[in-house]
Amino acid sequence: MQLKQLVTFMAGVAISAGAAAQQYPTRAIRAIVPYAPGGSTDVVMRILAPRMSEILGQQVIVENRPGGSSTIGTDIAAKAQPDGHTIGVANITFCANPSLMKKMPYDSEKDLLPVSLMSMVTLVLSVHPSVPAKSVKDLIALAKAQPGVMNYASAGNVSANHLATERFSSATGIKMTHVPYKGGGPAVIALLSGETALLFATIPSSIQHFSTGKLRALGVSSLKRSVALPNVPSIAEAAVPGFEANEWNGALVPTGTPRAAIDRLYQSISKAAAIPDVRDRIIALGAEPVGNTPEEFGAFIKREIGTWAKIIKEVGIKVE
């Protein structure tokens, strides 16, 4: 091929690639949530999806594929055609699973690429009023005096509540007994009845019980106070400097997805998260809209995987 022909050919390839990028997406986009409907991961995706659809010009359809500690749905996303038309929605469990499971159906660091962190969800350390602790420091002292006696609820093994409590235990040197339930709702009911002593609850599931005195809020899991609970200190502020254990939600795509598609998806999430009514609805969940870059989300995932590997080894968390 002569030089002139080669230049013409390469120019044609570049134009075709650019045209393909401009045409994306060409059909509906699946957003696979690896949990049952109703949890924060599902709700945040459903809040963003309609506005992402408007921005992308194609419908974003939320598909729930629960099971296997989120690995079933995430595996479907990892093995999907890498063309930008399938998103996997991940949360805190995505980064803990590699250290918990002997055999994973996918490689968390190789088979999926980061798109954007969608939101950070603050949890609140909540106790039953029968617990004689009025502050985070009181609770730590009480738990240290009675190792393993105090029990805590969670929405299930490797749920955000479970992992946040184990991070808290690791940071403070206390030992408590885990009582997993089948979902966040049953975990809150167990706490309200006094069946369990404490729960790192999502703010929407617990906030109405603080004003009535049915539950007591000791601290929030974010570094700063939550707008939803301005009178409740952060755990970092109250007793454990640097402590942070938030739930989060983010979008991933199969490895091999073109960068142009990733960028369009990231931009749609970032723009949707900045729309006032979308922000308000996410904030009402006790969450903070994010919409950061693929690079920023990738760095976040790497830190989370490393953090959970360390904590899981120290505490000895197991999938039961």
Separation of alpha carbons 246 and 226, rounded Å: 12
- The CA R_g of the chain, rounded to the nearest whole Å, is 22
Instruction: Say if 27-119+247-315 and 123-238 have the same CATH topology.
Output: yes
The Cα–Cα gap between 69 and 67 comes to 6
Confidence at residue 183, expressed as pLDDT on a 0 to 100 scale: 80
Per-residue pLDDT of the chain (320 residues; tens, 9 = 90+): 454 554 455 545 444 444 445 689 999 999 999 988 878 889 999 999 999 999 999 999 999 999 888 999 999 999 999 999 999 999 999 999 999 888 999 999 999 999 999 999 899 999 999 999 999 999 999 999 999 999 999 988 888 899 999 999 999 999 999 999 888 888 999 999 999 999 999 888 898 899 999 999 999 999 999 988 999 999 999 999 999 998 899 999 999 999 999 999 999 999 999 999 999 999 888 788 999 999 999 999 999 999 889 888 887 777 65
Instruction: Give which of 39, 68, 94, 69 is closest to 304, Cα–Cα.
Output: 94
E strand or H helix that includes residue 310: helix 294-315
**What's the rounded Cα separation, in Å, for the pair 298 and 305?**
11
Fold of 123-238: D-Maltodextrin-Binding Protein; domain 2 (3.40.190)
27-119+247-315: CATH topology is: D-Maltodextrin-Binding Protein; domain 2 (3.40.190)
Length of the chain counted residue by residue: 320
How far is C-alpha 79 from the chain's CA centre?
A: 21
DSSP assignment, residue 233? P
**201 DSSP β-pair partners:** 124
Question: What are the boundaries of each domain within the chain?
Answer: 27-119+247-315, 123-238
Predicted confidence at residue 290, as pLDDT, reads: 95
